[in-house]
């Protein structure tokens, strides 16, 4: 999924609620964050990873590029949703070249779409646990039409798509850059406005991924309908603004009910992981995404799972150009910037 030649690029995370743009320069002294910014999208423009109104999204991207005065045109972005299949499969032992030649054939039985309609990628996880003649492979298939959709929107915004990544892998990249000195199982969980991405890393490699359609927007919608207010008002109430006709206790209950649903979703995913890796123990949960900051959620998750929960900060591994960035703002929104920073640290010739 790689086009273009030049090395440098910007990371652009086109979230269903907030577009994030980050520019990182790699120097001999390490990575420097030059620019970071976000722009909100109107509700409902991106549903289940599909872009409903490309012109409006392209305009929002153009506005963000202009506001941040970004000159670079090469972009890494990412996709997620039902059009992406990520599956751990087992195949007979073979070389990477042999697998490259046979991956379409292997993939056919695992993906619910015609292989002609998807771009396929893979990486070898390692030898099968009990059969040395087999190996485990992570298969990634993305519907060409969704890739085309994102390529079109970037081109409409006068940008050059260079890397089209997958959200969960961008997440993993930030983990590698910031936290990777740990063996064992660690769960990376991003909760945005409309989806939750889970990637469980086992011994430095992704072993399990899952996506669920939950997120911060659920709470906003419930508040908006319960108290008959706009989404914008509901968003403000959610993060603590008080209003006369809106009892705080009721808001707390709404938040508690949805965040408890997120915890159940996470527990189900973990149970599934344990059914494959019975001897493993998830040591830590690293949270990202705007909705991960919902009041009380990380504490609830920690008590429900008895696992240490921590907020991801993608800026710890890099120097920050303080002339171009407001440090307090970056610290405040750090978890929301994670996928974007995973994209911004990619290079055009990365696989
Ligand atoms: N401090 C906060 N407390 C609670 N919720 C927050 C906070 N900051 C952001 N959010 C919520 O996070 C969501 C936006 O997060 P994010 O930018 O990660 O989503 P997105 O990438 O646009 O969505 P998705 O990945 O689901 O398509 C919104 O629902 C917003 O209300
Ligand atoms: Mg997101």
Span of 108-117, 210-219, 225-234 with lowest mean pLDDT: 108-117
* Residues paired with residue 76 on neighbouring β-strands, in sequence order: 11, 163
When pLDDT is cut at 50, 70 and 90, the band that residue 350 belongs to is: low
Q: Is it true that domain 84-141 has CATH number 3.30.1490.300? A: yes
Per-residue pLDDT tens over the stretch 126-139: 899 889 999 999 99
- Quote the CA–CA distance of 338 and 212 in Å, as a whole number: 18
Cβ neighbours of residue 16 under 8 Å, at least 6 residues apart?
41, 45, 46, 47, 192, 193, 194, 195, 217
How confident is the model at residue 3, as a pLDDT? 38
- Mean pLDDT confidence for 267-291: 96
* Separation between Cα atoms, residue 319 and residue 120, nearest integer Å: 35
The preferred substitution site among 17, 251, 294, 333 for testing ligand 1, maximizing ligand atoms within 8 Å of CB, is 17
Torsions phi, psi of 35, nearest 5? -140, 145
294 ligand 1 Cβ < 6 A: yes
* pLDDT, tens digit, 9 for 90 and up, residues 35-81: 999 999 998 899 988 999 999 999 999 999 999 999 999 999 999 98
Q: How is residue 273 written in tokens?
A: 């992981």
By the CB criterion, residues less than 5 angstroms from ion ligand 2 are: 15, 192
Q: What is the pLDDT of residue 5?
A: 40
Mean predicted confidence (pLDDT) in 182-198? 95
For residue 166, name the pLDDT band (cuts at 50, 70, 90).
very high
On whether the CB atoms of residues 77 and 164 are closer than 8 A, the answer is: yes
Q: How far lies 78's CA from each of 155, 211, 266, 307, in Å?
A: 15, 14, 22, 29
Per-residue confidence band for 28, with pLDDT thresholds at 50, 70 and 90: confident
**Considering every ligand atom, which ligand is closest to the CA of 295?**
1
Q: Which ligand lies nearest the alpha carbon of 170?
A: 2
215 lines ligand 1 (CB under 6 A): yes
Q: Are 230 and 224 in contact, with CB atoms under 8 Å apart? A: yes
Cα(285)–Cα(311) distance, rounded to whole angstroms? 8
Task: Give the whole-angstrom CA distance, residue 293 versus residue 336.
Answer: 9
Residue nearest to atom 20 of ligand 1 (CA): 15
Element (H, E) at 271: helix 248-276
Ligand closest in space to the Cα of 216: 1
Q: How confident is the model at residue 26 (pLDDT cuts 50, 70, 90)?
A: confident
Query: Domains of the chain: which residue ranges?
Result: 84-141
Counted residue by residue, the chain has a size of: 351
CA dist 196 and 188 (Å) reads 10
pLDDT (0 to 100) of residue 263: 98
- State the angle between helix axes of 248-276 and 216-226 in degrees (0 to 180), rounded to the nearest 10: 150
- Which residue bears the tokens 């990477």? 96
Distance 308 CA to ligand 2 centre (A): 23
Look at residue 4 and tell me whether its pLDDT is greater than 80: no
Strand 50-51 relative to strand 46-47, pairing: antiparallel
Mutate to test the pocket of ligand 1, among 15, 216, 232, 235 (most ligand atoms within 8 A of CB): 216
pLDDT at residue 184 is higher than 70: yes
Q: Is a pLDDT exceeding 80 seen at residue 6?
A: no
Residue 193 near ligand 1, beta carbon < 6 Å: yes
Identify which of 309, 325, 297 has the alpha carbon closest to the alpha carbon of residue 24. 325
Residue 181 scores a pLDDT above 80: no
Percent of the chain scored above 90 by pLDDT?
Answer: 85
């Amino acid at each position: 999924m790689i086009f273009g030649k030049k090395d440098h690029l910007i990371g652009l995370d086109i979230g269903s609620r907030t577009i994030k743009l980050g520019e990182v320069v790699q120097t001999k002294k390490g990575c420097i964050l030059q620019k970071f910014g976000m722009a909100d999208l109107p509700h409902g423009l991106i549903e289940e990873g599909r872009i409903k109104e490309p012109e409006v999204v392209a305009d929002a991207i153009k506005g963000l590029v202009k506001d941040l005065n970004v000159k670079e045109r090469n972009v890494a972005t990412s996709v997620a949703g039902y059009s992406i299949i990520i599956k751990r499969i087992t195949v007979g032992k073979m070389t990477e070249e042999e697998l490259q030649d046979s991956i379409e054939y292997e993939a056919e039985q695992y993906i619910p779409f015609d292989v002609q309609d998807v771009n396929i990628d893979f990486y070898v996880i390692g030898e099968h646990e009990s059969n040395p003649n087999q190996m485990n492979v992570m298969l990634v298939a993305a519907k060409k039409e969704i890739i085309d959709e994102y390529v079109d929107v970037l081109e409409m915004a006068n940008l050059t798509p260079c890397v089209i990544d997958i959200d969960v892998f961008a997440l993993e990249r930030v983990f590698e850059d910031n936290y990777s000195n740990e063996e064992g199982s660690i769960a990376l969980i991003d909760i945005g406005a409309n989806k939750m991405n889970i990637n469980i890393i086992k011994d430095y490699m992704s072993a399990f991924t899952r996506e669920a359609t939950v997120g911060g927007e659920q709470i906003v919608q419930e508040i908006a309908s319960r108290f008959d207010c706009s989404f914008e008002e509901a968003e403000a109430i959610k993060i603590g603004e008080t209003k006369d006709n809106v009892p705080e206790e009721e808001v707390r209950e709404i938040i508690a009910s949805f965040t408890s649903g997120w915890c159940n979703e996470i527990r189900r995913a973990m149970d599934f992981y344990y059914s494959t890796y019975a001897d493993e123990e998830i040591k830590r949960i690293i949270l990202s995404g705007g909705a991960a900051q919902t009041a009380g959620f990380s504490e609830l998750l920690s008590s429900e799972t008895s696992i240490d929960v921590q907020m991801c900060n993608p800026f710890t591994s890099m120097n920050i150009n303080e002339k171009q960035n407001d440090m307090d703002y970056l610290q405040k929104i750090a978890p929301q910037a994670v996928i974007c920073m995973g994209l911004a640290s990619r290079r055009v010739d990365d696989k």
